[in-house]
């Protein structure tokens, strides 16, 4: 194929196909118009022309093949196809589908509502985290919205009762402000202080809220000989959202804070669900005087259900089961699958728009 031919062929394709072709090849291709996109694609194709052309052909083939699904008695073709490297978009994990009948919308929506109000009873993992904090450091890794704040509040309450200072850090200033208001309501305004880069409100309070960077700087100053906040009476350091330790730019601040945290203070790390919380616990155990206990808990307090809402307003469950089928991403609800394929058909090759 000459370059002119290729250019013509590209020009004939719908823009959506060009975008799919540009995926992984061209940066920020969403921004480009059709002419510009073709230009960039052509320039890019010079690098690996054969691969580019074959991808284009696969995509064009897909476009024509999709409206008419292949007849079931075509094993020969399928075999051939599977031996050739396929494009990412067509690659779906082959997994046996559940044979139980898919649930209906009404049973999916069932149970929706407000629970009867009852006295708050802490979960077992919350109790465990607070109890273990007496013996050493604690890492908590639980799903978002499980009630990490309760652990933080209870732990802070106990430390304050023992006349120890508590430092609570969050990654964002906005979150610090929210917690400041929240904790002021719980503990009383005179018990809570907030430190920012240029301001300190009630800096002598037993519970201090700051961003992790500010705490790191305090620890630097303590290391350099200038004692700032009463680090010797520090009893507990709570690092909220500590999955930020993996943040490409700021993660190092969390590491430094944990490395330089005074040894008499307990550490409480609160984190969203992450894949390797035991690594963090093991690491902290290896560098701090007391062993670090991991509290892990993966079921959500309020169960979650996933749904699919079609642009025409039709709602269906996303999965065949009522809850989330953990470990089985292909257990899609047949209705959701059908509607989504229909959506892709209508938005990708765009027959209607031509």
Asked if 262 touches other proteins (CB under 8 A), the answer is no
Interacting span for other proteins (CB under 8 A) from 69-77, 113-121, 161-169, 289-297: 113-121
Q: In the bound complex, what is the minimum distance in angstroms from residue 347's beta carbon to other proteins?
A: 6
Question: Binding of other proteins at residue 191 (CB under 8 A)?
Answer: no
Q: How far apart are CA 141 and CA 348, in angstroms?
A: 40
Cα separation, 51 vs 57, in Å, equals: 10
Cα separation, 151 vs 2, whole angstroms: 67
Residue of the chain from 69, 75, 111, 289 that contacts other proteins (CB under 8 A):
111
Work out whether 158 is an interface residue with other proteins (CB under 8 A).
Answer: no
Of 43-51, 59-67, 161-169, 229-237, which segment contacts other proteins by CB under 8 A?
43-51
Give the nearest distance from C-beta 285 to other proteins in angstroms. Answer: 10
Please give the Cα distance from 20 to 29 (Å, whole number): 9
Q: Is 68 among the residues that bind other proteins (CB under 8 A)?
A: no
> Is 177 one of the binding residues for other proteins (CB under 8 A)?
yes
Based on the shown chain and the rule CB under 8 A, indicate whether residue 178 belongs to the binding site for other proteins: yes
Q: How far apart are CA 141 and CA 294, in angstroms?
A: 8
Question: Rule CB under 8 A: is residue 147 a binding residue for other proteins?
Answer: yes
139 with 280: CB under 8 angstroms?
Answer: yes
Q: Which of 1, 272, 290, 291 binds other proteins (CB under 8 A)?
A: 272
SS3 55: helix
| Residue 67 interacting with other proteins (CB under 8 A) | no
Secondary structure letter of residue 197 according to DSSP: S
For 202, the token pair is 């009630």
Q: How many Cα neighbours within 13 Å face the side chain of 231?
A: 17
* Contact code string over 226-245 relative to other proteins, x by CB under 8 A: ---------------x-x-x
Q: Build a one-symbol-per-residue string for 70-99: x at contacts with other proteins by CB under 8 A, - elsewhere.
A: -------------x-xxxxx-xx-------
For residues 300 and 104, give the distance between their C-alpha atoms in angstroms, rounded to a whole number.
Answer: 23
């Amino acid at each position: 194929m000459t370059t002119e031919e290729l250019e013509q062929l590209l020009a004939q394709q719908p823009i959506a196909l060009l975008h799919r072709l540009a995926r992984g090849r061209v940066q920020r291709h969403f921004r480009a118009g059709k002419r510009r996109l073709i230009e960039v694609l052509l320039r890019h194709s010079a690098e690996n022309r054969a691969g580019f052309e074959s991808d284009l052909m696969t995509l064009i083939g897909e476009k024509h093949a999709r409206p008419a699904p292949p007849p079931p008695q075509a094993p020969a073709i399928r075999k051939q196809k599977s031996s050739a490297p396929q494009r990412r978009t067509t690659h779906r994990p082959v997994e046996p589908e559940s044979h139980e009948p898919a649930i209906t919308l009404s049973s999916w929506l069932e149970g929706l509502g407000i629970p009867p109000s009852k006295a708050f009873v802490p979960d077992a993992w919350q109790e465990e985290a607070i109890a273990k904090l007496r013996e050493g450091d604690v890492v908590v890794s639980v799903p978002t919205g499980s009630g990490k704040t309760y652990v933080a509040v209870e732990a802070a309450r106990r430390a304050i009762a023992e006349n120890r200072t508590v430092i609570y850090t969050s990654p964002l200033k906005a979150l610090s402000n929210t917690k400041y208001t929240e904790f002021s309501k719980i503990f009383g305004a005179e018990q809570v202080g907030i430190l920012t880069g240029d301001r300190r409100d009630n800096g002598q309070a037993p519970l201090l809220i700051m961003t992790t960077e500010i705490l790191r700087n305090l620890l630097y100053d303590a290391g350099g000989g200038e004692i700032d906040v009463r680090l010797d009476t520090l009893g507990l350091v709570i690092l909220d959202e500590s999955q930020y330790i993996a943040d490409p730019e700021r993660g190092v601040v969390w590491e430094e804070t944990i490395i330089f945290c005074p040894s008499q203070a307990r550490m409480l790390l609160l984190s969203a669900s992450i894949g390797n919380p035991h690594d963090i616990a093991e690491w902290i155990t290896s560098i701090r005087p007391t062993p670090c206990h991991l509290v892990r808990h993966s079921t959500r307090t309020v169960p979650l259900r996933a749904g699919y809402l079609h642009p025409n307003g039709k709602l269906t469950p996303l999965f065949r089961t009522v809850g989330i089928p953990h470990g089985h991403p292909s257990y899609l609800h047949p209705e959701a699958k059908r509607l989504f394929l229909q959506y892709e058909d209508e938005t990708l090759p765009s027959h209607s728009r031509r």
